[in-house]
Structure 1
Amino acid sequence: MLNITMFSKADSVKGQGVGSAYQELMRLLRTHWQDEFNVQVNRYGRAAISHYHTVNPMFYLSTFMPNRGRKIGYVHFLPETLAGSLKLPRPFQAIFNRYLIAFYKRMDHIVVVNPTFIPKLEAYGIPRTDVTYIPNFVSKRDFYEMTPAKRTRLRKQYGYDQQRFMIIGTGQIQDRKGVPDFIRLAKQNPDIQFVWAGGFSFGRITDGYQALKKVVDNPPANLSFPGIVDREKLVDYYNMADLFLLPSYNELFPMSVLEAFSCGTPVLLRNLELYRAIIDGYYQPAADVVDMQRQIEHLRRDPQALKQLHDQAVLASKDYSEARLAQIWHDFYRQQAKEGAR
Structure 2
Amino acid sequence: MIANDPELLQVNQFSESLYFPAPHGVHSVFCDTISALQAMPGLNLGVNQWWRDGVLHIHTVGPASLIKMINHRGPVLVSAHLATHSLLGSLAGARMYTAAWSAYLDRFYSQADAILAVSEEVRSELLSRGIRKPVHVVHNGVDLTVFKSSPSARQASRKALGVGQDERVVLCVAQLQPRKCPHIFVECARKFPDVKFVWVGESLFGPISASRAEIRSLMAGAPRNLHFTGGLPREDVSQWCRVADVFLFPSHHETFGLAILEAAASGLPIITRRLPVYDDIFGEPGIDRLTAEDIPDFIDQLDYLLSSAEARQRFGQRSLSVASSYGSEVIAKDLVKVYEQI
TM-score w.r.t. length of structure 1: 0.91
For residue 185 of structure 1, report the CA deviation from its aligned partner: 1.4
Kept after mapping to 1: 8 A contact 2:118/2:140: yes
**Which of 311, 330, 334 in structure 2 is aligned with 1:324?**
330
**Which of 10, 32, 52 in structure 2 is aligned with 1:24?**
32
Q: Which residue of 2 aligns with 1:115?
A: 120
Find the aligned partners of 2:94 and 2:324 in 1 and give their Cα distance: 43
Q: Counterpart amino acid of 2:28?
A: S
Q: Which residue of 2 aligns with 1:248?
A: 251
Asked whether 1:138 is paired with 2:142, we answer yes
Q: Which residue of 2 aligns with 1:77?
A: 82
**Which of 70, 93, 106 in structure 1 is aligned with 2:111?**
106
Kept after mapping to 1: 8 A contact 2:241/2:268: yes
Asked whether 1:2 is paired with 2:9, we answer yes
SS at match of 1:319: helix
Find the aligned partners of 1:40 and 1:247 in 2 and give their Cα distance: 37
Find the aligned partners of 1:244 and 1:130 in 2 and give their Cα distance: 35
Q: Deviations over 1:159-209 (max 9, x none)?
A: 234333210000211111121211121122212210001112211222221
Alignment of 1:255-334 (within 5 A): 255-281=258-284, 282-334=288-340
Q: Which residue of 1 aligns with 2:159?
A: 156
Q: Which residue of 1 aligns with 2:21?
A: 13
Find the aligned partners of 1:45 and 1:100 in 2 and give their Cα distance: 24
CA spacing shift, 1:19–1:125, aligned 2, 3 Å: same
SS at match of 1:126: coil
Find the aligned partners of 1:186 and 1:207 in 2 and give their Cα distance: 23
SS at match of 1:116: helix
Q: Which residue of 1 aligns with 2:5?
A: none
Q: Counterpart amino acid of 2:47?
A: V
**Which of 52, 62, 67 in structure 2 is aligned with 1:61?**
67
Kept after mapping to 1: 8 A contact 2:85/2:98: no
Q: Deviations over 1:270-315 (max 9, x none)?
A: 1111011221232111122210101011111222111110110111
Q: Counterpart amino acid of 1:329?
A: L
Give the unaligned 5+ runs of structure 2. 1-7
Give the unaligned 5+ runs of structure 1. 337-342
Kept after mapping to 2: 8 A contact 1:112/1:134: yes
Q: Which runs of 4+ in 1 moved over 6 A?
A: none
**Which of 157, 164, 179 in structure 1 is aligned with 2:182?**
179
Percent identity between the two aligned chains: 28
Which range is displaced more, 181-190 or 244-253? 181-190
**Which of 200, 203, 206 in structure 2 is aligned with 1:203?**
206
For residue 118 of structure 1, report the CA deviation from its aligned partner: 1.8
Q: Which residue of 1 aligns with 2:4?
A: none
Kept after mapping to 1: 8 A contact 2:197/2:226: yes
CA spacing shift, 1:310–1:66, aligned 2, 3 Å: closer
Count of aligned residue pairs for this structure pair: 331
